[in-house]
Amino acid sequence: MLWLLPLITAVWILGSFIITYVIAVANGRVEPNFPYISYTAIYAPERAIFSQLVNIGAVLLGSTAYVRYIQVKADYPHMSTKMRGCNVASLVLGMLSALGLSMVANFQAKIIQIPHYLGAFFAFGLGTVYCWVQTVITGKIFTRDFNYSRGVLILRIFISISVTIILFIFTATKIFYKKHKFPGSKWNVHRGVYLTSTSTEWLLAICILLYVLSFIAEFRNIRLRFPEIVSTVERSNTMETNHQLS
């Protein structure tokens, strides 16, 4: 049932964004079309709901990255040193991306900006790099495993390219808007730039979650056994004797 993990992760995180968006719009905090994702969680109760839901999503995302790392390691035990390094790098990037998501949830954009934007860099920037590293791993596997799906490789290449383009557009328009905005400019002078920036942020999040969904293909064929716990504490003879007498 591990294939459900990436599905639950993607649905949970996107659902968290949508829930807080709906609440923020209903309370008149943001405009219906289109606020930045984090701007839907500036005020209570939206920010509390956003933090709680997205923190859970961050744990799910980190778990997905870990299972993917273990899956590649288990399926291809004789991988090259370079391939092994890519797999380890993907785990680190995946965990940092999950950490960034949690930082975005816990540090509101208009209140504690530096940790928030650092978290956004981890989630989106390193998340994009994660997609590319996983695509490289997928390509290496495809050249060695004749049973591997070409469709999965093509899908991941397409998503990685899309994520990169969208990230560039989002970053450029975000910087431009932040530098040139003035009160009310998002409704007239800079309306196009503002909407491009906000909509590409949503698209970026959706595309990264689509990449996470692509792991369903591999996760269908694996099972996770719970680890055994081995005690290294030596019992004294007295304790063993008392145990036998009882």
Distance CA 121, CA 5 (A): 24
The pLDDT tens digits for 127-174 are 999 999 999 999 988 877 666 778 899 999 999 999 999 999 999 998
pLDDT at position 1: 80
Domain assignment present for residue 229? The answer is no
Distance CA 93, CA 62 (A): 10
Mapping DSSP onto H, E and C, the string for 80-94 reads CHHHHHHHHHHHHHH
For the whole model, what pTM was predicted?
0.87
Distance CA 205, CA 167 (A): 10
User: In this model, does residue 241 exceed pLDDT 60?
Assistant: no
Domain assignment present for residue 15? The answer is yes
pLDDT at position 234: 65
Domain assignment present for residue 123? The answer is yes
Domain assignment present for residue 239? The answer is no
Domain assignment present for residue 240? The answer is no
The pLDDT tens digits for 182-203 are 676 666 667 788 889 999 999 9
Domain assignment present for residue 242? The answer is no
Domain count for the chain, please give it.
1
Distance CA 102, CA 104 (A): 5
pLDDT at position 15: 96
Token pair belonging to 145: 């495993």
The pLDDT tens digits for 40-78 are 888 888 889 999 999 999 999 999 999 999 999 988 888
User: In this model, does residue 84 exceed pLDDT 70?
Assistant: yes
Domain assignment present for residue 191? The answer is yes
For residue 225, the 8-state DSSP code is P
Token pair belonging to 224: 């996770």
Residue 6 is inside which H or E element, if any? helix 4-26
Write out the residue range of the structural domain in which residue 175 sits: 4-223
Distance CA 222, CA 5 (A): 12
> How many residues are given for the chain?
246
Domain assignment present for residue 113? The answer is yes
Distance CA 52, CA 71 (A): 29
